[in-house]
Amino acid sequence: MRRARLLPYLLVAPSMAFLAALFLFPLVQTISLAFHADGRWSLGKFATMADDLDFGDAVGNTFKLVMIVVPAQLILALAMALMLPHLRRGRDLVLWVWSIPLGVSDLAAGLVWLAILTDRGYLNTILFKLGIIAAPTAWLTYETPFALFAAIIVAEMWRATAIVFLILVAGVQLVPKEFAEAAEIFGASPWQRLTRVTLPLLKPSIQTALILRTVLAFEMFAMVITLGGRNFPVLVSEAFNWQDTNQDYGVAAAYATLVMAVSLAATAFYLIVMRVRPEDRS
């Protein structure tokens, strides 16, 4: 009996110890690194971070990206998730094809889109054949900030809509068909059925998808480096530069702490704004 009561703890202990060593410990370490300078508690690393020329751009770029990409992905993924049940044939195939980008890293996605958007790439070939441009044209330089920004948005839409889509599809499957049918019998238009029945019932899934996606969007960096080099700094690419190029672990940790704070704030924001009653989660 005694052993049976201990058993769950024994089973959980290894993973607990692992997460303590490789999640909680580096978490505390990161924060402590960020708040120390010259062996004392200080905000010096944050001051260095904020004084850096690229800091303002990094913050602005990151937020601009998240605020455009995340809502756009939610709308696209919602459309895809609502289209899927109406497919008569090949539903599994379509589901697989639409899920493929889920397995593609942001670095790989950056390389994929680089093949399309580079000077002698496929986009320029099409533009050339349409007679819009006369010769290979560069889109991804600091001289074309808008095109670069648009390229990053398109690549991120391509790569990371799949995760939102899958969470929403899982949610749609949980919504009883009877609800929409009942609404239809009472004369609700398709739009009313969407906004009054389906969306409220999908709220828990939408909330989960938004939290997960926003946290991941704040983490994006390899794609930005692949497409734009250092022309489009974001928070995590700056953290990487401070660690890798400047070898100042404190400032890198300050960036990491900032990213974590922003991620937590976003999570709290979604939890409060879209409050979901526990009984609505199923």
Looking at beta carbons only, is 167 or 182 nearer to another protein?
Answer: 167
Q: Residues touching another protein: how many (CB under 8 A)?
A: 92
Among 101, 160, 210, 213, binds another protein (CB under 8 A): 101
Query: What's the closest the beta carbon of residue 23 comes to another protein, in angstroms?
Result: 5
Residue 166 touching another protein (CB under 8 A): yes
Question: In DSSP terms, which residues pair with 41 in a beta bridge?
Answer: 36
Q: Which is nearer to another protein, 96 or 182 (CB)?
A: 96
Decide if 122 contacts 182 (C-beta within 8 A): no
- Side-chain half-sphere CA neighbours of 6 within 13 A: 4
Question: Given the complex with another protein, which of 183 and 235 has the nearer CB atom?
Answer: 235
- Asked if 49 interacts with another protein (CB under 8 A), we say no
Q: Which of residues 5-24 bind another protein (CB under 8 A)?
A: 5, 7-9, 11-12, 14-16, 18-19, 22-23
Q: Which are the contacts of 98, defined by CB distance < 8 A and separation ≥ 6?
A: 80, 162, 165
Single out the segment in contact with another protein by CB under 8 A; choices: 42-50, 67-75, 191-199, 217-225.
Answer: 217-225
Task: Enumerate residues 192-211 that contact another protein by CB under 8 A.
Answer: 204-205, 208, 211
Residue 119's DSSP bridge partners are none
What character string, x for contact with another protein (CB under 8 A) and - otherwise, covers 60-99? --------------------x--x--xx----x-xxxxxx
Judged by CB under 8 A, the chain residues 112 through 131 that form the site for another protein are 112-116, 118, 120-122, 124-125, 128-129
> Phi/psi of residue 37, each to 5°?
-145, 135
Judged by beta carbon, residue 24 or residue 182, the one nearer another protein is 24
Tell me whether residue 84 or residue 147 sits nearer to another protein (CB atom).
84
Distance CA 21, CA 106 (A): 27
Nearer to another protein, 27 or 182 (CB): 27
